[in-house]
Amino acid sequence: MINRRVVLAAHVSGMPRESDFRIDAVDQPPPGEGEVVVRNHYVSVDPGMRGRLSGEASYTAPVPLGDVVGSATVGRVIASNNDAWPVGEWVAGAFGWQELGLSPGGRGIRRIPEGPIPPSAHIGVLGIPGLTAYFGLLDIGQPKPGETVLVSTAAGAVGSAAGQIARINGASTVGIAGGQAKCRWLTEELGFDAAIDRLAEPDMAAAVARECPDGVDVFFDNVGNSLIDPILPLMRQHGRLVISGQTADYNLGREERVGLKNTRSFITARLKMQGLVVFDYAREFSKAWTELTGWIQDGRLKYREDIVDGLESLPAAFVGLFQGQNFGRKLARLVS
Ligand SMILES: NC(=O)c1ccc[n+]([C@@H]2O[C@H](COP(=O)([O-])OP(=O)(O)OC[C@H]3O[C@@H](n4cnc5c(N)ncnc54)[C@H](OP(=O)(O)O)[C@@H]3O)[C@@H](O)[C@H]2O)c1
């Protein structure tokens, strides 16, 4: 078997470029003792991957030059030397941007339950994005009925789930997204109370003050300091800031990043700000899957996938994340 892959051709500096990646092909030997070979049908495209591509240490190891770019994957077992993982079974894994993945003894893969929810959702709303929204919002944000939850990149994979989970928990929900189509989706289809088009609002503090007239109780942020700073004075007493991601900062050098000036609000409004690494909640994932699945099935949690075709599309899809080109969970389909 031949395995085609997208590998890192150059360490990324500043905004990623398509030329930072290249496609190669390697032999995939048949599975050895206990091994399982998976053909990836969908692979994810994640802004958080940017931190591993510059060659610097993050909370996960950097991707060495020539290595496969990491991502979530979902696919089917195509060759198996392991009775627990029969050929044909759908599994989710983290094999990255490549056609095939090898699991020793079933490690690193999980079975996808059969049912009406399509396999791709298991690396989206039921994958790391949905789990990040779930634990970030419920464990750190802790929204209460009647409170106001503000969510950034609200039409993205994490943000769209976070806003809907806030709503399910009785909070009023305001999303920030780039463009009118995304904002319409939030209010007309996902039930957000209001949406702010970041591309049409020169003064974000004024826009948030307008849409959240009583202030913000929970701010679930995926953007970074340039957005957090203007929101700080708008936080209500005992407000909580959930630091989920920093998409606007990932491509900036340390000196280029904006700092926080409005930190006095932490004292005057008794605020708390906390970040999360979703994998810290791994022991609780099954509880979250049960609840998220229930919400999808009863129609309260909707999701959108933005799918490109083929390995060749992946570098441009990744670059596009930082230009707001994705609308929902960005995926590449490798098997049609
Ligand atoms: N903490 C964790 O454990 C964890 C786990 C998974 C993901 N995350 C983080 O969650 C965040 C969201 O991930 P996702 O997969 O759901 O991505 P996403 O929101 O679906 O895609 C990225 C979006 O970010 C927005 N954006 C891009 N550049 C921007 C800029 N310069 N300023 C403001 N907004 C910008 C764009 O949306 P608009 O144009 O619509 O604004 C773009 O569509 C990421 O920061 C990711 O690293 C954290």
In this predicted model, what pLDDT tens digit does every residue of 161-205 receive, in sequence order? 999 999 999 999 999 999 999 999 999 999 999 999 999 999 999
pLDDT at position 59 is 76
Give every CB contact of residue 102 below 8 A, 6+ residues apart in sequence.
28, 31, 35, 36, 37, 38
Q: Tell me how far the alpha carbon of residue 247 lies from the centroid of ligand 1, in angstroms.
A: 5
Q: Which of 120, 153, 319 to mutate to test the pocket of ligand 1 (most atoms within 8 A of CB)?
A: 153
CATH of 2-124+304-333, one of 3.40.50.410, 3.40.190.10, 3.90.180.10, 3.30.2320.80: 3.90.180.10
CB of 71 sitting under 6 A from ligand 1: no
Q: Which residues of the chain does CATH 3.90.180.10 include?
A: 2-124+304-333
Give yes or no for residue 58 having a pLDDT over 80. Answer: no
pLDDT at position 303 is 98
| Average of per-residue pLDDT across 269-295 | 98
CB of 222 sitting under 6 A from ligand 1: yes
How confident is residue 60, by pLDDT bands cut at 50, 70 and 90? confident
Closest Cα to atom 28 of ligand 1: 322
Closest Cα to atom 20 of ligand 1: 156
Closest Cα to atom 35 of ligand 1: 248
Stretch (H or E) spanning 266? helix 264-268
Percentage with pLDDT > 70 across the chain: 100
| Average of per-residue pLDDT across 287-307 | 98
Percentage with pLDDT > 90 across the chain: 96
Closest Cα to atom 22 of ligand 1: 321
Closest Cα to atom 45 of ligand 1: 245
Q: Which residues of the chain does CATH 3.40.50.720 include?
A: 128-279
Give yes or no for residue 318 having a pLDDT over 80. Answer: yes
The vertex-255 CA angle with 246 and 150, nearest 5°, equals 25
| The ligand 1 atom nearest the CA atom of 129 | 6
CB of 96 sitting under 6 A from ligand 1: no
Q: Tell me how far the alpha carbon of residue 223 lies from the centroid of ligand 1, in angstroms.
A: 6
The rounded distance, in Å, linking the Cα atoms of 146 and 24 is 53
**220-273 per-position pLDDT tens digit:** 999 999 999 999 999 999 999 999 999 999 999 989 999 999 999 999 999 999
pTM > 0.95: yes
Q: How many CB atoms lie within 10 A of CB 201?
A: 15
Q: Tell me how far the alpha carbon of residue 158 lies from the centroid of ligand 1, in angstroms.
A: 7
How confident is residue 14, by pLDDT bands cut at 50, 70 and 90? very high
Stretch (H or E) spanning 75? strand 73-80
Q: Which of 222, 223, 243 to mutate to test the pocket of ligand 1 (most atoms within 8 A of CB)?
A: 222
Q: Tell me how far the alpha carbon of residue 246 lies from the centroid of ligand 1, in angstroms.
A: 7
Cβ 123 vs Cβ 305: under 8 Å: no
Q: Return left, alpha or beta for 263; rule: phi > 0 is left, psi -120 to 50 is alpha, else beta.
A: alpha
Give me the residue label for tokens 């009118």: 180
Give me the residue label for tokens 């939850």: 149
Spell out the SS3 assignment of 41-102: EEEECCHHHHHHCCCCCCCCCCCCCCCECCCCEEEEEEEECCCCCCCCCEEEECCCCECEEE
| The ligand 1 atom nearest the CA atom of 325 | 43
CB of 175 sitting under 6 A from ligand 1: no
The answer to which of 52-56, 288-292, 319-323 has the lowest mean pLDDT is 52-56
Q: Which fold has domain 128-279?
A: Rossmann fold (3.40.50)
| The ligand 1 atom nearest the CA atom of 247 | 45
Q: Tell me how far the alpha carbon of residue 244 lies from the centroid of ligand 1, in angstroms.
A: 9
Which SS3 state, helix, strand or coil, does residue 164 take? Answer: helix
pLDDT at position 61 is 87
**66-107 per-position pLDDT tens digit:** 999 999 999 999 999 999 999 999 999 999 999 999 999 999
CB of 156 sitting under 6 A from ligand 1: yes
